[in-house]
Structure 1
Amino acid sequence: MDTYVDGFLIPVATDRIDDYKAIASLAGQVWKDHGALAYCECIGDDLGIPGMVSFNHAAATAPGETVVFAWIVYPSREARDRINAAVMADPRMLPMQSADAALPFDCKRMAYGGFRVLVEC
């Protein structure tokens, strides 16, 4: 199976979680409309596990921030490239791409990567 996943780790202001959820809900619909198989955004809850690197540390959260862990599943890397291009051109996404958009997170602090699926059960 050629399934491909984009993963994200995003520090988000805790007082803007509702704003983030609205953006993520719209983004999820856009990605699914263009062919993503799954879209999931999760808010940090149990992040301080002793003996492990915390997601807060990995995301370099500041006081008043929490972590969003998110992923998008695609049929293949080629599909991911095609879908992402369509998403970025979708008019519903344009307000979020504006330089003066008041996003509830700093895009420059978002960790992002594409992953080949190793095990899928």
Structure 2
Amino acid sequence: MSYIDGFILAVPTANKQTFTEHADRANRFFMDQGALRVRECWGDDVRDGKQTDFRKAVQARDDETVVFSWVEWPDKATRDACGAKMEEASKSDERINPEKNPMPFDGMRMIYGGFSPVVELDA
């Protein structure tokens, strides 16, 4: 079974195009390292919850949009190998170099983690 990295973040709504370009560049690095699929999803129906919700989780402000993203890997070993390469590659690969491709959002409020699927259904 595959392995999934999941992300939730708040992006200034005015930075949608900048974010899209940043994500496209960075995600091409992941694809080159063996990722099977990447999805960046711009929130358009993210409702407020009574106790918690996506917006509260990333402390989204009124001028920010919640983004839900994931990277699908063939397995955890491929994902871990990419992670090990990232620090060194960030010095020479401008797609993931923070000076050449800066994050257009507050990375301190990003939530992310790795997940092992327990159910997979395809059409």
TM range (shorter): 0.7 to 0.9
Q: Secondary structure at the match of 2:104?
A: coil
- Name the counterpart of 1:15: 14
Q: Secondary structure at the match of 1:80?
A: helix
Give the length in aligned residue pairs: 118
1:56-95 equivalence runs, <5 A? 56-88=55-87, 89=89, 91-95=93-97
**TM-score between both structures, scaled by the size of structure 1:** 0.85
1:1-121 equivalence runs, <5 A? 1=1, 3-48=2-47, 53-88=52-87, 89=89, 91-96=93-98, 98=99, 102-121=102-121
C-alpha contact 1:44 1:69 (8 A) present in aligned 2: yes
RMSD over aligned CA atoms reads 2.2
**TM-score between both structures, scaled by the size of structure 2:** 0.83
Q: Percent identity?
A: 36
Segments of 5+ residues of structure 1 without an aligned counterpart are none
Segments of 5+ residues of structure 2 without an aligned counterpart are none
C-alpha contact 1:30 1:92 (8 A) present in aligned 2: no
C-alpha contact 1:9 1:59 (8 A) present in aligned 2: yes
Deviations 1:17-63 (A, max 9, x none): 11000000111211111110111100000111666843212221012
Per the TM alignment, residue 83 of structure 1 is displaced from its structure 2 partner at its CA by 1.9
Paired residue type of 2:43: G
The change in CA–CA distance for 1:73 and 1:93 in structure 2 (over 3 A counts) is same
**Rounded Cα–Cα distance in structure 1 between residues aligned with 2:103 and 2:15:** 9
Paired residue type of 2:117: V
Deviations 1:56-98 (A, max 9, x none): 12221012111010000111111100022334415133432x4
